[in-house]
């Protein structure tokens, strides 16, 4: 089954574009493939962060002062 591809125009910093093209050549991958993979990874990280927030939503909050006291008590600062 073929995957539908959408065309988009993006504007890159010239130095970033140069580095991206060099990486594409060195890795035998297209610029589009590198950009797609980078975006996919960034979105996956966001999804992990959101999941972590949801898992911890029920935890009680503590103040900054309390956190500092705990860190001192545990020898971390």
User: In the numeric block, which tokens belong to residue 62?
Assistant: 């503590």
Look up residue 72 and give its two tokens.
């001192």
pLDDT for position 45: 95
> How far apart are the C-alpha atoms of 44 and 77, rounded to whole Å?
33
> In which residue are the tokens 């002062």 written?
65
What pLDDT score was predicted for residue 1? 65
Look at the pTM and tell me if it is higher than 0.85: no
Ranges of residues in the chain with a pLDDT under 70 are 1
């Amino acid at each position: 089954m073929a995957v539908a591809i959408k065309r988009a125009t993006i504007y890159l910093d010239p130095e970033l574009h140069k580095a991206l093209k060099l990486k594409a050549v060195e890795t035998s991958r297209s610029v589009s493939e590198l950009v797609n993979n980078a975006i996919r990874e960034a979105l996956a990280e966001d999804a992990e962060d959101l999941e972590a927030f949801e898992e911890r939503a029920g935890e009680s909050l503590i103040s900054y002062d309390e956190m500092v006291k705990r860190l001192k008590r545990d020898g971390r600062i």
